[in-house]
Amino acid sequence: MAHQANNVYNQALYRVRQALFQKVWMTNSQLDKSLKEVERPERLHDLLSMNSVILSSRSSVLCSDMTSWKKARDAYRKAPHKFTGRPKLPGYHMKGGRSTIFIDNQTAKLRKGGYVEIPVLDNFRIELQHKDTTAIQQVRIIPQHGRFIVEVVYRTNKEIAYKPDNGRYLSIDPGLDNAFALASNVEGFQPVLINGRPIKALNQYYNKERARLYQTHDFSNQPRSSRRLERLEFFRDQKIDRFAHEASRRIVDIALSHDIATIVIGKNKGQKRSCHMGKRINQNFIGIPHQVMVDLIRYKANLEGIVVVETEESYTSQTSFLDHEMPVRENGDKMRKKQGKSPARRRIKRGLYRSDTDRLINADINAALQILKKVVPTAYANGIEGIGLSPVKLNLSF
């Protein structure tokens, strides 16, 4: 069925593109009708012999993709500076490949005992982790690295009551060796560094082993695809996914233990697209899915009523928290050099920052404290004497 879904998507995309070239916009109903009324049914006999689940799901997915492209194209015409390039039409899937199967809640049935059953798939059954689920919305069967991942989308009846702003904030600086640096304006809070070196080592092993397997395939004139590559990619994805879940859970638990109502996370838009830190550092930095981890933090924090705010983090690593500087361009390294201040660069080595008063602080913790100033400039209005500046290293098991 995954092969059938892939073929249906390509066939539907062909019809939509050809109509678009004739300046005709096909709706979902028109596309569905076009797929069912084929002039040469022998070519699509195998596709249409399956039940209509595949047809309706893939045509609706394609229409959704085309609608997103149209909105992006219109936005590009109005403000092209907001885009990195002109939005392109959706492309064809790989011939002979497999695509995700989307099954709606009319086809997938929720049974007693916390099971979802799909009659059209030979009564395929899925056991839910949440046995108290009362209704489902969609089931996705995703082909991934030689396996099938089954996702069940459901809606909960839980109403989230967000905590009021109590002046207690947790600030997070995502990084590389330190995956997350946590700081807060709460008196007595001990800053935390979540060790990111295991993820860095995992990516280095993955890149090295993948390059070795690619070289083996190229030497024997074989395509760059095999079960060994699929197992390697699946192993890496699972490890990173477990790390992201463990790190996000720990961060939310830390916020709850200190009665923190707001989490501030630093992230620059497009930072991985335009980073120039050298080939090796670029490879390590790009291999860590920071946005996935940030989304998990937001998801788990929102369930607990904690508000999550993302902010850009420019000049947070160049300015000094201990010297009460605001993270703005006027206090950055280039302006200090122009003004003749010494030293122009106060980050003396990896992980260590020296203030103008010769006090030392962890560089990532300094950046995390400055990130909070971006959103709440008055967070430290009562001074910093009660804030801990010696971080604790946290190693996760994943």
> What is the pLDDT tens value at each position of the chain, 398 positions in all?
888 888 888 988 999 999 988 988 888 888 878 877 654 444 444 444 455 566 667 777 888 889 999 999 999 999 998 888 899 999 999 888 898 988 888 888 888 888 899 887 888 898 888 777 888 888 999 998 888 999 999 877 778 888 998 989 999 999 888 899 999 988 888 899 999 899 989 988 998 999 999 999 889 888 888 889 999 999 999 999 999 999 999 999 999 999 999 999 998 765 555 555 666 666 676 667 888 899 999 999 998 999 999 998 888 888 888 888 888 888 888 888 888 888 888 888 878 888 888 888 888 999 999 999 999 888 876 666 556 667 889 999 87
Rounded distance, CA 110 to CA 116, Å? Answer: 5
Same domain, 312 and 190: yes
Same domain, 199 and 321: yes
Same domain, 263 and 354: yes
Same domain, 59 and 139: no
Structural domain contains residue 44: yes
Q: Please state, in angstroms and as integers, the Cα–Cα distance from residue 299 to each residue in 142, 160, 174, 304, following that order.
A: 22, 11, 17, 9
pTM of the shown model = 0.82
Same domain, 149 and 198: no
Same domain, 278 and 318: yes
Structural domain contains residue 82: no
Structural domain contains residue 110: yes
Token readout for 230 is 């699929």
Structural domain contains residue 85: no
Query: By the 8 A CB rule, do 297 and 252 touch?
Result: yes
Rounded distance, CA 314 to CA 371, Å? Answer: 9
Same domain, 62 and 210: no
Same domain, 150 and 262: no
Rounded distance, CA 213 to CA 194, Å? Answer: 32
If one counts the domains in the chain, the total is 3
Nearest CA-CA partner of 175 in 267, 269, 276, 295: 267
Same domain, 248 and 302: yes
Structural domain contains residue 76: no
Q: What strands, in cross-sheet order, belong to the sheet with 147-154? A: 101-104, 136-144, 147-154
Structural domain contains residue 90: no
Structural domain contains residue 314: yes
Last-in-domain residue among 20, 43, 67: 67
Same domain, 282 and 214: yes
Containing domain of residue 145, as a range? 101-154
- Per-position b or e across 13-50, b if 16+ CB within 10 A of its CB: bebbeeeeeeeeebeeebbbebbeeeeeeeebeebbee
Rounded distance, CA 305 to CA 288, Å? Answer: 27
Same domain, 10 and 128: no
The single residue listed with the structure tokens 């009660």 is: 386
Same domain, 262 and 201: yes
Structural domain contains residue 78: no
